[in-house]
Structure 1
Amino acid sequence: MRVLVLGSGVIGTASAYYLARQGFEVVVVDRQPAVAMETSFANAGQVSPGYASPWAAPGVPLKAIKWLLERHAPLAIKATADIDQYLWMAQMLRNCTANRYAVNKERMVRLSEYSRDCLDELRAETGIAYEGRTLGTTQLFRTQAQLDNAAKDIAVLEQSGVPYELLDRDGIARVEPALANVTDILAGALRLPNDQTGDCQLFTTRLAEMARDLGVEFRFGQNIDRLDHAGDRVNGVWIDGKLETADRY
């Protein structure tokens, strides 16, 4: 079975690797000259399941209105006649309630925990090196209000069984001695000891090498124009003006 993967970032490359390991014929297409040249290039490099959260959250609708006036806003909405975009926006707004946010975040945390476990297995099986560290992460709060607002997220961590540690000023200095002289301007911190960090581009590059060894074909410098589809079924992908087909996409 032939599978066409669009994009060679960390997600596309990892998908190609796992598909090839299961015996699929895989082709990866990307407009860049190499893997991980866009979002995965300057990635923050954190593996932080506890921080996984949906964009649809209380307060986001009001923020979105303000973002429309900003040049470099984190959310951009392009005017279009496509009804599907407005249906999607309506679905997002419906999920901006506190109850739905809690449900969606809990699901995302569980999925992210599973993803991290898969990363651990991959590292153990292949020995892939990407400057990975398993020392956890620490989120600092400058004000008591910020610390108080984290209570709902902490409740999700407890519900999902994610280990965490609330730190006072002495705890911050203990975990990160370099901050000992500035703890007086901090209200507290949240430490997630099971979090990891690493170089996302390096990880993707080396995983791509392993994928090639399994027979994955990477085709760079090719622009993905649009999907050829009928309803929810994808029949092919237009790439540089030509229709490319596969068994799965």
Structure 2
Amino acid sequence: MKIALLGYGKMGKTIEEIAVNRGHEIVLKLEDDIDNFELDKMDIDVAIDFSIPKAAFKNITTCFKSDIPVVCGTTGWLDDYEKAIELCKKENSAFIYASNFSVGVNLFFELNRKLAKIMNGMSDYAVEIEEIHHTEKQDAPSGTAISLAQQIIAENDQKNNWQLDHAEADEIPIKAKRIENVPGTHTVSYASEIDTIEIMHTAKSRQGFALGAVVAAEWIKGKKGVFSMKDVLSDQLK
């Protein structure tokens, strides 16, 4: 498979290593912005975008217009997500966005949904999310933390939004910390006066995120439509 890497920072380099080890070829490597590349004249099977928030939308939509499927793990650009979805459908292309491509995190998402459903109506317990990442991460809270909050809100009759740090009674507080050399740690806690229930996912390196992105790229090749990591991992999540 011929892959374009849009965003060639630490994550892009890790994706490259894994993709090459799995027998794929990297045919394009861009630092951030796709600019004026004539992608329709290049032989590209899938683009993987781990760029920066200000470049992501342009990168993604440029690929759609050149009939190149996109796997995107860039966070912080989601105000334009619906526009990207509309253009994907208009161009009959293919798209997977995930706040986190790690297989472990997507299993964690399923656990979070199930726990949120169980805890709905347990008014003695206050829910909170904490995320810790490396100091180079540009957005806060993380896309993964936002996904966790949205999953809880979908199952919780008393919560309708999230807020960074301080939250109202009908909101979920997300605490974001930045510490050097932390790939990513996410904790969801339900605390009452007598006890606390917690679930946690701790990434040990970027390898899990990068591998999941390559697996998603392998899966989406030849498909049309808008998908999620739940589609990619459907067999494992049954």
Q: Give the number of the structure whose alpha-carbon radius of gyration is greater.
A: 1
Higher strand content, 1 or 2: 2
Question: More helix by proportion, 1 or 2?
Answer: 1
